[in-house]
Structure 1
Amino acid sequence: MQGLTIKDLGEFGFIELIRNRFRHHRRSDVVVGIGDDVAVVDVGPFYLLATCDGQVEGVHFLSDRVPPRYSGRRLVAVNASDIAAMGGTPLWALVAMNVPDHTDVSYLEEFYEGIVEGLEKIGASLVGGNCSRTSRDTVFDLFLTGRVEKGRMVTRSGAKPGDLLVVSGTLGRARAGLTLLLRKDAESLQKILEGSSRSGIDDLLKNAILHYYAPEPRMELGRFIGSEGLARAMIDVSDGLLQDTLHICRSSGVDVVIDLESIPVDESCALVAKEVGEDPLEWALTGGEDYELLFATTQKDFKRLFEIFGSVVGLNVIGYFREGSGRVWIRMNDGSEVSAEFFASMGWTHF
């Protein structure tokens, strides 16, 4: 009989298992280990940040639909967003390329061009990596380092009762882009990207597709929050608003109440969800991969942040933290509260 599988345990259950099993297997210079956005190591004058994330063909990108340059930029963005969520600055990257032996070299060249473009945009450099052969699908993994000054690091675990829950930008745009990617043929996608269709909504659809292709991590906002100490806890919205809020709550040992009417649903999300007969609000709550910053802050610090970034990226107070044991509650439009577990899926998980 087959034993427990990783699908049975789930992505976050497996992470918890590994963290607990090897809790004492760490050097004295490790400040933050398994369980946060990045690992943090004390290297003397500053903290070194380290993160790793990958892109798997058929899971994160489709080689026949997504230009390789965009996939390369996306690989950088999903890693850089983790650095931003700690208030850090990216430094160096290593890339592990795993491809079938029939892969076109020009495709790989363009993929790496996208990687380097993405790294240059965030001020980091490609310094090495590895090449391996796979039997079928293409897999790229990127290991990214960064730095943050001591005393300026922001983790998931500092939220306090009374803090505000704030998210940057809008939500659901990546889910809209992914839906278009899966439902449109290659020719239709190209027309949208080139602005040659006649729907009158090209800009919204184009932005949604590009946001999924190559999201823009909130590097400047994250660095400013960290350097000025303006957040008690922070995470990037990669798994979905509800799932990532739950990470903060469990790490901080508090509950949160999210105001449903305050969720900033992206315009493209509303448009595409309506077109396919789904709920745009649920996409915004659970869709994930928007790579906005989600953080806990005080009323005073929010006011300062809003004065600087409010008109640039948009900052939205969507809830508040209170005493509790790590649960997420949603205040409905009629004022009642329901557990976020009410939603069939709180967000993305690999298994």
Structure 2
Amino acid sequence: MKLSEIGEFGFIERFAHRFEDLLAPNAMGIGDDCAIIPAGDDHDLVLTTDMLVEDIHFIRDKISPLDLGHKALAVNLSDVAAMGARPVGSFLSIAIPHGIDVEYLDQLMEGYHQLSERYQLPLMGGDTTRSPHKLVLNISVVGRVAKGTAKLRSAAQEGDVVAVTGMLGDSAAGLHALINNLSANPESSYLIEKHVRPHPHIEQGLWLGRQRSVHAMMDVSDGIASDMKHILKASGLGAGIELSQLPLSDQLKAFSAQHQLNAFELATSGGEDYCLLLTVEADSFQETAASYKEALGADLYAIGFITSDQQLKWTKDHQSIAGGLKDGFNHFL
């Protein structure tokens, strides 16, 4: 059997269950955006780790070292945000190929530091080694959340409204612009910026984490076509998503029309938007969205609802889409 036949999540499923009986009471391991470790009478720790590999997650001559340092940390902070937690420390391990100048690494660490400074997040350790060919960054982030309040993928309930906290598809369009050298107009520049300098929704996650009406939550890393399925599988439920309700930026719409791209496919399958995907009690959604707007000056976008049939269904203008949509990013398929 080849790894391409089962994909990354099929691989994880082959071994994850073997470690469940090793977990301490009230701890949670593989299966959510972060692991959870009980740490005291009033709080839990959440931990996440992500690896960025050159030519898989980034193309070195298409992203500045300053932006790469920012993005490497941002994608981990996004996982902590998805738990409704506050980040408290990070660890960085880096494998460096021959030929990279010290000045390049200085700029990479400056980008990492700038984002760390925004959240008063200390770099607490890590490892440095040589790589035979490619630059590899592995970051771990520790967060803190009030005991028992972390938001889990498994907490969705039938009837919940499905919502997101930001625009979808901008990062995927930015990657397309980068790869095809389409950076000569304002739309392309905006979309590229969204791809190379994502902003984790920490403040949004902290606010949403305090709301009882918010049930399940995760970040949008692989695209909602894939990420939504993680919530549904963990919760044993289904969902209906309406494409006409997806928040699409004017820049994405203009860029997609200009280059004959499917904006909905970018929005559902492109990934790396790093906003939050969540479910909210239906009766409380309007009140929650209004309070969210008042507190953060941003919109909470309703894109669908949770159902009981354990299927993910897509509609456009309330008409069913036969065959569904392309799945989100998978490293091995």
Verify same fold: TM over 0.5: yes
Q: Deviations over 1:276-330 (max 9, x none)?
A: 22211111111111011110101343223322333723211111111123x2111
TM-fit CA distance, 1:128: 1.0
TM-fit CA distance, 1:63: 1.8
TM-fit CA distance, 1:30: 5.4
Q: 1:106 and 1:34, CA in 2 relative to 1: closer, same or farther beyond 3 A?
A: same
Q: Choose which of 30, 38, 43 in structure 2 pairs with 1:34.
A: 30
Q: Any idea what SS the aligned residue of 1:81 has?
A: helix
Q: Deviations over 1:49-77 (max 9, x none)?
A: 10001211112222212110100100111
Q: Choose which of 270, 273, 283 in structure 1 pairs with 2:266.
A: 283
Unaligned runs of 5+ in 2: none
**Match of 2:31, as an amino acid?**
G
The 5 A counterparts of 1:170-189 are 170-184=167-181, 189=183
CA distance in 2, matches of 1:268, 1:55: 27
Q: Choose which of 229, 250, 253 in structure 2 pairs with 1:246.
A: 229
The 5 A counterparts of 1:129-140 are 129-140=126-137
Q: Tell me the equivalent position of 2:300.
A: 315
Q: Any idea what SS the aligned residue of 1:148 has?
A: strand
TM-fit CA distance, 1:254: 0.7
- Kindly indicate whether the alpha-carbon contact (under 8 Å) linking 2:44 and 2:148 is maintained by their aligned counterparts in 1: no
Q: Tell me the equivalent position of 1:228.
A: 211
- Kindly indicate whether the alpha-carbon contact (under 8 Å) linking 1:48 and 1:146 is maintained by their aligned counterparts in 2: yes
- Output the aligned Cα RMSD: 1.7
Q: In the alignment, does 2:327 pair up with 1:331? A: no
Larger displacement relative to structure 2 (244-253 or 298-307): 298-307
Q: How many residues align?
A: 329
CA distance in 2, matches of 1:268, 1:16: 38
Q: Any idea what SS the aligned residue of 1:157 has?
A: helix
TM-fit CA distance, 1:259: 1.3
CA distance in 1, matches of 2:118, 2:284: 28
Larger displacement relative to structure 2 (306-315 or 260-269): 306-315
The 5 A counterparts of 1:104-119 are 104-119=101-116
Q: Any idea what SS the aligned residue of 1:22 has?
A: helix
Q: Tell me the equivalent position of 2:196.
A: 213
Q: Tell me the equivalent position of 2:330.
A: 349
Q: Deviations over 1:170-224 (max 9, x none)?
A: 111001111111111xxx74xx5xxxxxx5xx1x332211110010111111101
**Match of 1:348, as an amino acid?**
F
Q: In the alignment, does 2:54 pair up with 1:57? A: yes
Q: 1:321 and 1:289, CA in 2 relative to 1: closer, same or farther beyond 3 A?
A: same
**Match of 1:321, as an amino acid?**
I
**Match of 2:303, as an amino acid?**
I
CA distance in 2, matches of 1:49, 1:223: 13
Q: 1:115 and 1:29, CA in 2 relative to 1: closer, same or farther beyond 3 A?
A: farther
Q: 1:64 and 1:136, CA in 2 relative to 1: closer, same or farther beyond 3 A?
A: same
Q: In the alignment, does 2:40 pair up with 1:44? A: yes
Q: Tell me the equivalent position of 1:297.
A: 280
TM-fit CA distance, 1:231: 1.0
Q: Tell me the equivalent position of 1:256.
A: 239
**Match of 2:293, as an amino acid?**
G
- Kindly indicate whether the alpha-carbon contact (under 8 Å) linking 2:89 and 2:123 is maintained by their aligned counterparts in 1: yes
Q: Deviations over 1:224-273 (max 9, x none)?
A: 11123331100111110111111111110111011122111222222222
Larger displacement relative to structure 2 (152-161 or 261-270): 261-270
Q: Deviations over 1:117-176 (max 9, x none)?
A: 111222311011101111101000101100100132100001111111011121110011
The 5 A counterparts of 1:144-223 are 144-184=141-181, 189=183, 199=185, 202=186, 204-223=187-206
- Kindly indicate whether the alpha-carbon contact (under 8 Å) linking 1:152 and 1:229 is maintained by their aligned counterparts in 2: no
**Match of 1:332, as an amino acid?**
K
Q: Choose which of 61, 69, 83 in structure 1 pairs with 2:66.
A: 69
CA distance in 2, matches of 1:271, 1:17: 43
- Kindly indicate whether the alpha-carbon contact (under 8 Å) linking 1:165 and 1:320 is maintained by their aligned counterparts in 2: yes
**Match of 2:248, as an amino acid?**
V
